[in-house]
Amino acid sequence: MVVGLGFDLIEVERIKQVTEKYPKFLDRVFTPREKEYSLAQKNPYLHLAARFAAKEAFFKAIGRRIPWSKIGIYNLPSGQPELELFTSVSVEFDRMRVSLCHLNSVAGAVVILEKD
């Protein structure tokens, strides 16, 4: 049964502008592993934006915010994204599913929380 659903869409340029204007933004929002992965890509802002969108989608799925650093969006060896939570939340769920998408200028994510 679905107990939480969140969706977010963001312009990649917005992430680039915020990062350039506020250098600490990266450290405040992304885990070291997320930064390492994203900054190694050909278009790092595209990957950062997708992860930002996934975190926003997770906030919407649980109905509240938690510290940005308590959520990590990583890729399995297959390339499939995976959401890792480093704290407890008030919504009870058994599984988290995340899907990322991006074009040249826009990134988006959907998060689904399921309970048996």
**AA identity, residue 45:** Y
Superfamily of domain 2-114: 4'-phosphopantetheinyl transferase domain (3.90.470.20)
**pTM (predicted TM-score):** 0.94
**AA identity, residue 11:** E
Q: What is the DSSP string of 84-95?
A: EESS--SS--SE
Question: CA-to-CA distance for 114 and 106, rounded, in angstroms?
Answer: 27
Tens digits of residue pLDDT in 22-47: 989 999 999 999 999 999 999 999 99
Q: How many residues does the chain have?
A: 116
How confident is the prediction for the chain on average, in pLDDT? 94
Structure tokens at 13: 């340029």
pLDDT band for 91, please (50, 70, 90 cuts): confident
Residue 55 has pLDDT above 80, yes or no: yes
Per DSSP, helices labelled H in 1-116 are 12-21, 25-29, 32-39, 44-62
